[in-house]
Chain A
């Protein structure tokens, strides 16, 4: 154990974060401002997710941390060992065994259950940010459900490219009310946002928390004549042969030979076991 409080943050801070989480769950997709703390890892490394995880962890939890779908990427290793140290909780790489999963950029391939929590690390929580840089303005737009600008952007994509040119962080309408940013997951993962698990999103630098309660309706934005498509690379995993999983492309040699393998390392291992 360590000299720090359980899961690093002091109890009043955790309470403040839990209040924001509860508010987020009560208003699905709404971005709740919270007094994000400076964490012992840099902003951009998942400080929002780490604070949400710290506020949710109990000593009985089993934690899994993934980055880009993998348990062994450096930052996933680093965050997992942080909580092993400051919370002393059990850790796992198995999706099925975890009670809380912190993720960056992926949703596990293995379907989640109602006794699991998925915590996302979020860089820019505001789906309208790149259309309107001002926070004062975007908050007003959400309040008035003024999402025309977003639809115009998607329409312009189709007019110019024949398809919607957003491949990750694909915006969706939550519970028929708030347009939200699912964090930079590939759009392949968007259908998995409707889940029995609780999904919590933490943006540390931007000081926002939002949430999807279990089974919340999440509609990826599209048009009737251009329906949403959860696309992925055309190929199969070189290790387990899966064709229905999200794939990482790997340049295998100096001749530029390319091959694919599952981005979700746990799922891939399980198939090979």
Chain B
């Protein structure tokens, strides 16, 4: 008697064992340590922290290792861990103006107070494969200038003083949290920014690129891009003042966008904003372009029907854990629904045949 092949407990256990073996790879080679991953694959770790929405380098490095380098899988591990943690409160807004910058560039001014700091960037490297690295050559320790860590005022503050840059309304409301309340639309900017900050880098990159090519063009310049460490402080009600409890590295990008005015607003520069945990330069620039495109309504601009202007489209499809889950679930068994389709298609064909025969 034929028995349909249906998976079972043993098959799952065997698959897990095989997975662990495949993860380890050739056992004659030393196993990677999470410290090595955190130090030498630090940008992968940063992406996992930012899209996982959890700032923990060690845990993110472990997730990268456990996921065999599949970053979306690693992000998923972090998200599933994060969701079990209690939310104790919210911090005070971080002050990126007080950031200890390791990198800080402006594309809008040749010189800015405090100067341009390239930092450890790929920007001007020639993309030539470095075979010496493969041979295990260690590059000599760099001569990094010993200077006192500098904090620098943000470029936008200089423009703002002249009144040329649209002032963003400030308020002290606790921002909404889409990890604790369902995302409901229409979404205000704080919620949109939260969703963008944890959205997939590739998705945002594609959307931002589409605005540059004319699908909702926003004329963006990088007013400032800065990477560095900031303090995180939390207000302790019993003490009556705030204490710093962490120092985190963030990447912040502010774009300055030309804006010729609308019925609601005078001609001025407007801004797009990107803030991402860790060193995630491409993502923060992408985020600021998408953020700017989504502001069409507040600024009284026309909706030209571009994907990046469509808040519902952007917010509902940017999360890579949701996207990959639903995409990949189609490999799960669907034979009940498929059977229903089979039966329907056969019946429709039979009916059509009968009609044709009757006509002949």
List chain A positions with a Cβ less than 8 A from chain B. Answer: 4, 10, 33-40, 42-45, 47, 67-70, 72-75, 77-78, 81, 105-106, 123, 134-136, 161-163, 165, 167-169, 184-188, 205, 207, 231-233, 238-239, 246-250, 252, 259, 261, 263
Contacts and interface: CB of A to CB of B under 8 A. Distances in A.
A249 B141 CA distance: 67
A184 B348 contact: no
B320 to A, nearest CB: 10
A135 to B, nearest CB: 6
A136 B312 contact: yes
Contact of B4 (A40, A44, A75, A248): A248
A97 B141 CA distance: 69
A165 B348 CA distance: 9
B27 interface: no
B66 to A, nearest CB: 13
Contacts of B2: 250, 252, 259
A38 B339 contact: no
A186 B344 CA distance: 11
Contacts of A259: 2
Given A44-B326, A252-B2, A186 B182 contact: no
A33 B4 CA distance: 39
Nearest to B80: A40
Most-contacted residue by chain A among B4, B316, B321, B330 (CB, 10 A): B4
B182 A36 contact: yes
A105 B341 CA distance: 13
Contact of B12 (A4, A40, A77, A161): A77
A135 B187 CA distance: 12
Interface stretch (B55-63, B81-89, B94-102, B223-231): B81-89
A236 B173 CA distance: 64
A37 B181 CA distance: 10
B259 interface: no
The 10 A-B residue pairs whose C-beta atoms are closest, nearest first, are A44-B329, A43-B325, A74-B7, A167-B340, A42-B325, A33-B182, A186-B340, A44-B325, A167-B344, A168-B337
A70 B27 CA distance: 39
B79 interface: yes
Interface in B176-221: 179-186
A123 B326 contact: yes
Nearest to A134: B312
Contact of A250 (B4, B76, B341): B4
Contacts of B79: 38
A10 B84 contact: yes
B333 A75 contact: yes
Interface residues of B, number: 50
B230 to A, nearest CB: 26
Interface string B299-342: 00000000000001000100001101111111011111101111
Given A136-B186, A248-B335, A261-B4, A42 B324 contact: yes
A167 B329 contact: no
Contact of A75 (B82, B332, B341): B332
Interface of B: 1-2, 4, 6-9, 11-12, 76, 79-80, 82-84, 86, 179-186, 312, 316, 321-322, 324-330, 332-337, 339-344, 347-348, 351
A249 B333 contact: no
A202 B141 CA distance: 56
Given A168-B340, A233-B343, A44 B332 contact: yes
Contacts of B312: 134-136
Given A68-B335, A186-B340, A163 B351 contact: yes
B336 A163 contact: no
A186 B336 contact: yes
Is chain B's interface secondary structure helix, strand, loop, or mixed overall? helix
A135 B316 contact: yes
B332 A45 contact: yes
A263 to B, nearest CB: 6
Given A38-B79, A39-B80, A43-B326, A69 B7 contact: no
A34 B325 contact: no
Given A75-B333, A77-B8, 20 more contacts: A4-B84, A38-B80, A43-B329, A44-B325, A68-B334, A72-B7, A73-B6, A74-B7, A74-B12, A135-B316, A162-B351, A163-B351, A167-B337, A184-B334, A186-B337, A187-B340, A231-B340, A231-B344, A246-B336, A263-B336
Nearest to B312: A134
Contact of A232 (B1, B324, B343): B343
A163 B339 contact: no
B53 to A, nearest CB: 10
23 contacts: A35-B182, A39-B80, A42-B328, A43-B321, A43-B324, A67-B333, A68-B333, A72-B8, A74-B332, A75-B333, A77-B7, A77-B12, A81-B9, A105-B337, A162-B351, A167-B343, A167-B344, A168-B341, A231-B347, A233-B339, A238-B1, A246-B336, A250-B2
B344 to A, nearest CB: 4
B181 A135 contact: no
A200 B225 CA distance: 49
Most-contacted residue by chain B among A39, A43, A70 (CB, 10 A): A43
Contacts of A68: 333-336
B341 A45 contact: no
Contacts of B1: 238-239
A273 B340 CA distance: 28
